[in-house]
Amino acid sequence: MPAHLNPEDVSCVYHASVMHHRLEPVGHRFTYSVFALCLDLDEIPALAKRHRLFSHNQRNLFAFYDRDHLPHPKGIKTAALAFFEKNGLAPDAIRKIRLITFPRIFGYVFNPVSFYFASDENGRPLGAIAEVSNTFGEMKPYFVPPDPTNPDRCRLTTPKHFYVSPFSKLDVAFDFRLTPPGKTLKLHVDDHTQDDDRTTFVAALTGTREPITSSTFRKLAIRYPLMTLKVISGIHWQAFRLWRKKAPYIAKSANPELQRDQLLPDELRP
pLDDT tens for 121-134 read: 988 999 999 999 99
Domain membership flag for residue 126: yes
Higher-pLDDT residue of 212 and 270 is 212
Among the listed residues 140, 136, 165, 158, the one whose alpha carbon sits nearest the alpha carbon of residue 251: 165
Domain membership flag for residue 20: yes
Domain membership flag for residue 241: yes
Residue type, 111: N
Higher-pLDDT residue of 266 and 205 is 205
Domain membership flag for residue 21: yes
Say whether pTM exceeds 0.85.
yes
| Cβ contacts of 121 within 8 Å, gap of 6 or more | 95
Cα–Cα distance between 39 and 97 in angstroms, integer? 8
Task: Write out pLDDT tens, residues 167-193.
Answer: 998 999 999 999 999 999 999 999 999
243 half-sphere exposure, CB direction, 13 A CA radius: 10
Tell whether the model's pLDDT for residue 3 goes beyond 70.
Answer: no
Domain membership flag for residue 47: yes
Domain membership flag for residue 134: yes
Contact 235, 67 (CB under 8 A): no
Distance of alpha carbon 266 from the chain centroid? 21
Domain membership flag for residue 5: no
The number of distinct structural domains making up the chain is 1
Contact 126, 93 (CB under 8 A): yes
Task: Write out pLDDT tens, residues 223-247.
Answer: 998 899 889 999 989 999 999 999 9
Residue 84 domain boundaries: 12-268
Domain membership flag for residue 1: no
Q: Calculate ∠ Cα 195-201-206, nearest 5°.
A: 135
Task: Write out pLDDT tens, residues 7-44.
Answer: 334 799 999 999 999 999 899 999 999 999 999 999 99
Cα–Cα distance between 41 and 81 in angstroms, integer? 11
Residues in the chain: 270
State what percent of residues in the chain have pLDDT above 70. 96
